[in-house]
Structure 1
Amino acid sequence: MRAAGGIRYAPATRVGFDGGMASEPITVSIRREVDPDRIAEATVWVQTGVNLANRYPGFLGSGWVRAGDDSTVWHMLYRFSDEQTLAAWEDSPERAWWLEMGRGFVRDERAKRRTGIEGWFDDPPTGSVPSVTDAAEPAALPAAPPRWKQAVSIWLGFFPVNLVFALLMAFVPGWDDVPLALRVLATTLVLTPIMTYWVLPWVTRMLRNWLVPAA
């Protein structure tokens, strides 16, 4: 679909798990082609979009790169905690205003989404962009690591965190007298956000070269 000003918007393609409103983190990969005569303006525009998104609940991070100083094809990633928080950003008046401001120099936009556990293992690109063989193709999300590597990474984060929590709770008077179901409930309520927002991102960064070996 082509909007006013020449921007062509393609429907975002979901990659991974489907089924209703997803509660898993969602990674959105965007390929944008910009006017070569307005690179500096586009740079400020992109950073403005990042700053706006950062103000919304559920925003987990973003990154953007271009192949070189004169490159007109830019690749961007951003992540939200779930479908609802992503929709709040994508349907917001701030994002609509931001897109309107970019219509004069953004020639083309393509997006893909990835939901589920694979999104935890996507890092915003920091030093390179995927090779572009066809300007009509949307930007490709990084290939997810094998499932067994994902499982190992999660275990490496979960085991020490769970162990430390269990050791600390042993000093809480009456903890052992609490029914098992309530102890498990309390444990998961505390550890789930810790794993999602701090431990897993750190583990995947530390294991980046093992999870996704350099070609």
Structure 2
Amino acid sequence: MSATSIDLNSVVTLVIHHKVRSEALPRYEAWLRRAVKEARKQPGHLGVNVIRPDGESGMFTTVVRFADAGQLQAWIDSAERAALIEEVSPLLEEGDHPLVHADAEFWFTPERGGRAQPPRWKQALLTYLVIAPLTMLIPKLWAPVFARYPLLGGMVPSNLLITLCIVLPVVFLIMPWVTRLCAGWLSAK
């Protein structure tokens, strides 16, 4: 599936928390590489991000994106994933914790531990601070292409390309990184 044929409204995300036993970290890392490789083979797979633990917590968070809910459900129900979960279970302290998210709000969903979700104004401000610079930079980067190919520079095609070049990096790369970086501020009262 090409990036231009993805319906961004149907993208779903599987967020998995694994608390790994300290003595099992090397085996878990090897398992994780195999699991990510297997997920990448699945129809509709759009990407995987792994957030490794800070310090001694042992909590790994894996974010897996699929083009639609049916493709994600097929992966969740697959024999391949079932075998992977059976294999990894002895390495985990608290089992497998998959959560399915159909929107971008998962960026701000705290890990287990009783913390509340950050106030909406903090979510909006952080999202604005990420997107605003991109809306100034991306059009300038496309300007030479639009000048050379006027059909692409039309109102609809140029906006579709620019929006795609903003949304995909924000969803798949920037916001997961920024929310980890700003976690202290987001969770502060």
Distance 1:145 1:152, change over 3 A: same
Aligned ranges 1:164-175 → 2 under 5 Å = 164-172=137-145, 173=147
TM-score, L = length of structure 1 = 0.59
2-structure distance, mates of 1:27, 1:147: 21
Q: Does 1:100 align with 2:82?
A: no
The equivalent residue for 2:65 is 81
The equivalent residue for 1:27 is 15
Provide the aligned C-alpha RMSD in A. Answer: 3.7
2-structure distance, mates of 1:164, 1:121: 25
Aligned ranges 1:170-185 → 2 under 5 Å = 170-172=143-145, 173=147, 178-185=153-160
C-alpha displacement at 1:157, in angstroms?
0.9
Larger Rg: 1
2-structure distance, mates of 1:168, 1:66: 39
1-structure distance, mates of 2:82, 2:54: 22
- Higher relative contact order at CA 8 Å, sep ≥6: structure 1 or structure 2? 1
Aligned ranges 1:200-211 → 2 under 5 Å = 200-211=175-186
C-alpha displacement at 1:191, in angstroms?
1.7
The equivalent residue for 2:168 is 193
Q: Does 1:119 align with 2:101?
A: no
Does the 8 Å CA contact 1:157/1:199 hold for their aligned counterparts?
yes
The equivalent residue for 2:6 is none
C-alpha displacement at 1:100, in angstroms?
3.3
C-alpha displacement at 1:46, in angstroms?
2.7
Does the 8 Å CA contact 1:53/1:89 hold for their aligned counterparts?
no
Select which of 48, 52, 61 maps to 2:50: 61
Does the 8 Å CA contact 2:15/2:63 hold for their aligned counterparts?
yes
The equivalent residue for 1:152 is 125
TM-superposition CA deviations, 1:74-106 (whole Å, max 9, x none): 754321113456445534444333333356676
SS in 1 for 2:95: strand
Distance 1:157 1:63, change over 3 A: same
TM-superposition CA deviations, 1:147-172 (whole Å, max 9, x none): 22111111111111110112223334
The equivalent residue for 1:9 is none
Amino acid at match of 1:79: V
SS in 2 for 1:163: helix
Does the 8 Å CA contact 2:50/2:60 hold for their aligned counterparts?
no
C-alpha displacement at 1:66, in angstroms?
9.6
Select which of 32, 45, 51 maps to 1:50: 32
Distance 1:86 1:51, change over 3 A: farther
User: Which structure carries more helix by proportion?
Assistant: 2
Distance 1:150 1:22, change over 3 A: same
Does the 8 Å CA contact 1:27/1:122 hold for their aligned counterparts?
no
Does the 8 Å CA contact 2:17/2:97 hold for their aligned counterparts?
yes
Distance 1:206 1:51, change over 3 A: same
2-structure distance, mates of 1:179, 1:22: 26
Distance 1:176 1:199, change over 3 A: farther
Which residues of structure 2 form unaligned runs of 5+? 1-8, 41-46
